[in-house]
Amino acid sequence: MANDKFTAHLAQLVNKAGGARKAVLAIKELTGVSPSKSSIDRAIKGSCSDYTVHCLIRDLTEATSSWFMFETNTHAWDGHYRNLKDAQYSAGFKTAKWKGSNWVVMSSINCFLKEEQFHTKPESQEKLISAFGEPDYKSADKYDADNGKF
């Protein structure tokens, strides 16, 4: 029997995802595999181990998180991605575009941020140009072509 505190937290995350079916889809999008809807339902009821509930909490927390990125030298911020893979792709694109930059992707859950706190700031472009010169669009286009995201 799973701990009531864990199952209550899982129930909140499933609710945040929009229900068990949407939670299954969110986990599948994140990891490539997912539990069944019935296994999530059983976990919410406590009919599994604490470990199972903990794994579901970990995956759903990451799957329902927002993602953002920042450049470590200038502290220029960009982001609000619903999908980790999209944020990672954009960080790679920006690294190609701004030669010498170092973009880090982070979860809003880990930093306790809200969506409205990390949209692109107008001064970010100025900081980047000041630190790295004009954008290298040719490298950015090559990154895009090599990675085929958009």
Query: In terms of domains, do 100 and 138 share one?
Result: yes
CA 109, CA 31: separation in Å to the nearest integer? 18
Nearest CA among 78, 87, 76, 96 for reference residue 137: 96
Query: In terms of domains, do 143 and 72 share one?
Result: yes
Q: How confident is the model at residue 81 (pLDDT cuts 50, 70, 90)?
A: confident
- Of 63, 91, 106, the residue that ends a domain is 63
Which tens digit of pLDDT belongs to each residue from 108-135? 665 555 545 445 566 778 888 889 999 9
* Number of domains forming the structure of the chain: 2
Query: In terms of domains, do 74 and 129 share one?
Result: yes
Query: In terms of domains, do 46 and 76 share one?
Result: no
Q: What is the mean pLDDT of residues 50-66?
A: 88
What is the reported pLDDT for 1?
A: 76
Count other C-beta atoms under 10 Å from residue 123's C-beta: 12
**CATH number of domain containing 27:** 1.10.260
Residue 78, phi then psi, degrees to nearest 5: -155, 150
Query: In terms of domains, do 38 and 93 share one?
Result: no
What is the reported pLDDT for 55?
A: 93
Range of the domain at 31: 4-63
- Of 63, 79, 104, the residue that ends a domain is 63
- Of 13, 34, 63, the residue that ends a domain is 63
3-class secondary-structure state, position 73: coil
Query: In terms of domains, do 79 and 130 share one?
Result: yes
Query: In terms of domains, do 21 and 53 share one?
Result: yes
Query: In terms of domains, do 105 and 77 share one?
Result: yes
**105-119 b/e (C-beta count within 10 Å ≥ 16 → b):** bbebeeeebeeeebe
In this predicted structure, the answer to whether residue 45 has a pLDDT above a threshold of 90 is yes
pTM of whole model > 0.85? no
